[in-house]
Amino acid sequence: MNRQQGKPNHFQMLQCGDEPLDVVHGQTRCLISEVEVKGFIERCMTAVGTKQHHARSLAEVLVEGDHRGHYSHGLNRMDMYVKDIQTGICAKDGEPVVEKESEATALVDGKNLLGPVVGNFCMNLAIKKANDVGIGWVVAHNSNHYGIAGYYAMQALKENMIGMSFTNTSPLVVPTRAKECTLGTNPISVAAPAKDGDSFVLDMATSAVAIGKVELHERRGDPIPEGWGCDPLGKITTDPKRVLTGGGLVPVGGSEATGGYKGYGLGMMVEVFCGILAGAQYSKYIRTWKVTDRVANLGQCFVAINPENFAPGFSDRMSDLLSIHRNLNPADLDTPVLAAGDPERMNMKKCEDMGGIPYHINVVKYMNECAKKIGVNPLLPCDKIVSG
């Protein structure tokens, strides 16, 4: 079975999964400025032969992941990208190419370049088309891991447009009634602009949770809630070990009784928009997570929609929709009702207040060791210690 066969490095486990800053308590963390982290990633990537502007694209997506609190999709993964370029499993030369095109659509060959290079190319094209005819729907094959899906959807916000982004990924999710992983965590991201820079930003895996959250519970010796994962027999389990050794994540919705078949359907919908529409790898044919024995050939989908082509007053209504929800009386006074994107906004605010992004000290040390091997100056300073 196609599950989590690679060994995650220690820091991927420490800094696992889509956790806001304040979830991982009591760890020694080190404050580093965004500019420095971006520069560091650029230095490392160009040192192994990545073009300067490709390296910058990657750096921006990864740092945005960290800034938004999704450490599993940030600096923490830089070594994977460095290795992909070093081994040649990911291409460093060339640019994405449009293979087929209409006023509103395009099929792009990502030329096996870094995911963010393909993603930026496609999203820019989608926005251009949405400027012309109200919508752009662009799909790419021959792509690679592209970081947080939300990064691309959010590019549309700058043009006051709705943005969407989808990617298929290595199999980690067991379909309802099955016991084998055939779908990735296949994320859906939708961003919509409201007034004064406010926005709705949905950025969600179609699995109940990220694999990293299960790893974190396993490391702590804690059980997981019912509805996160299943054992090798396909039964919902609260034992994270069973999920990680031959089991898998379950789709959002959990068991069949609680609507897991809906998450399963959404995961397959993402596959339809990505692998199937783009003619990339799909489902169980995608290489095993963290095993880079062959080219990924991921399928990705990027959409921009121009509200100007529809009813006037879009951003006013968006702001009102967000206000309605943020102002609801919460069930528990300690946990206010949020809109999609608000937890990330809170995380960014914390970073701004602190004057940088806090990284686990071991992640910084590990990345600096990686940098040393390729002759790159370390991430600095790493003496601004903040407590978890």
Orientation angle between helical segments 78-87 and 361-373, nearest 10 degrees: 20
Q: Residue from 182, 237, 288, 347 that binds a copy of itself (CB under 8 A)?
A: 182
The count of residues in the chain is 388
Is 335 among the residues that bind a copy of itself (CB under 8 A)? yes
Question: Torsions phi, psi of 251, nearest 5?
Answer: -65, 155
Q: CA 317 to CA 253: how far, in whole Å?
A: 29
Q: Residue from 51, 195, 262, 384 that binds a copy of itself (CB under 8 A)?
A: 262
Q: Residue from 204, 351, 363, 379 that binds a copy of itself (CB under 8 A)?
A: 204
Q: What distance, in Å, lies between the first and last C-alpha atoms of the chain?
A: 37
> For residue 305, what are the β-bridge partners?
135, 162
Nearer to a copy of itself, 47 or 162 (CB): 162
Question: Least CB distance from residue 307 to a copy of itself, whole Å?
Answer: 6
Name the one range near a copy of itself by CB under 8 A: 6-14, 16-24, 48-56, 262-270.
Answer: 262-270
346-365 positions binding a copy of itself, by CB under 8 A:
none
Nearer to a copy of itself, 39 or 259 (CB): 259
Q: Residue from 103, 222, 352, 369 that binds a copy of itself (CB under 8 A)?
A: 103
Question: Least CB distance from residue 206 to a copy of itself, whole Å?
Answer: 8
Q: Residue from 97, 291, 337, 385 that binds a copy of itself (CB under 8 A)?
A: 337
List the structure tokens of 219.
């490391």
Kindly state the DSSP code that residue 196 receives in the 8-state scheme.
Answer: G
Each as own residue / partner, the long-range contacts of residues 253-259 (CB below 8 Å, 24 or more positions apart, any chain) are 253/208, 253/227, 254/208, 254/226, 254/227, 254/228, 255/176, 255/226, 255/227, 256/176, 256/177, 258/227
Nearer to a copy of itself, 12 or 176 (CB): 176
Q: Residue from 71, 121, 152, 282 that binds a copy of itself (CB under 8 A)?
A: 282
Q: Residue from 177, 219, 349, 372 that binds a copy of itself (CB under 8 A)?
A: 177
CB of 12 within 8 A of CB of 374? no
CB hemisphere CA count around 330 (13 angstroms): 9
Nearer to a copy of itself, 341 or 358 (CB): 341
Q: Residue from 4, 57, 176, 300 that binds a copy of itself (CB under 8 A)?
A: 176
Q: Residue from 27, 33, 86, 105 that binds a copy of itself (CB under 8 A)?
A: 105
Is 235 among the residues that bind a copy of itself (CB under 8 A)? yes
Q: CA 78 to CA 368: how far, in whole Å?
A: 11
Question: Torsions phi, psi of 373, nearest 5?
Answer: -60, -30
Is 23 among the residues that bind a copy of itself (CB under 8 A)? no
Q: Is 183 helix (H, G, I), strand (E, B) or coil?
A: strand
Is 178 among the residues that bind a copy of itself (CB under 8 A)? yes
Is 141 among the residues that bind a copy of itself (CB under 8 A)? yes
CB of 79 within 8 A of CB of 9? yes
Q: Residue from 89, 269, 295, 380 that binds a copy of itself (CB under 8 A)?
A: 269
